[in-house]
Amino acid sequence: MAAPVAAAAYRWSGRLMSRVDRQSHAAAAETADRLVEFARRRPALRAFGRAAEDHELLDAAPREQRAKARAAVRIRVPGIAGFALAVQLCLT
């Protein structure tokens, strides 16, 4: 009886982790894309005197990545705790 409970908890926590990893990767890729885009256009921005202006998309990307990281922690902790609890219950 213990093996099916542990297996179900493992699958559940694995799905949670997989979803969080996809979201985190997407946010990190978006941030990297914005930074590369800004770096490539930096000479043109300097040439036309716009280097010091607000760069809304560039500023928003790290904020979004931080928000996704905080959400990842909120989702990962219950997954890890749920699996640990299931294993503990199976072993005691």
What is the predicted pLDDT for the residue at 53? 67
What is the predicted pLDDT for the residue at 29? 92
Please determine, for residue 2, whether its predicted confidence score (pLDDT) is greater than 80: no
Supply the pTM of this predicted model: 0.66
At 15-62, the pLDDT tens digits run: 888 988 898 899 899 889 988 988 888 887 777 776 666 677 778 888
Q: Exposure pattern of 8-47 as b/e (b: 16+ CB <10 Å)?
A: ebeeebeebbeebeeebeebeebbeebeeeeeeeeeeeee
Calpha distance 61→32 (Å, rounded) = 8
Please determine, for residue 5, whether its predicted confidence score (pLDDT) is greater than 70: yes
Tell me the average pLDDT across 69-92: 86
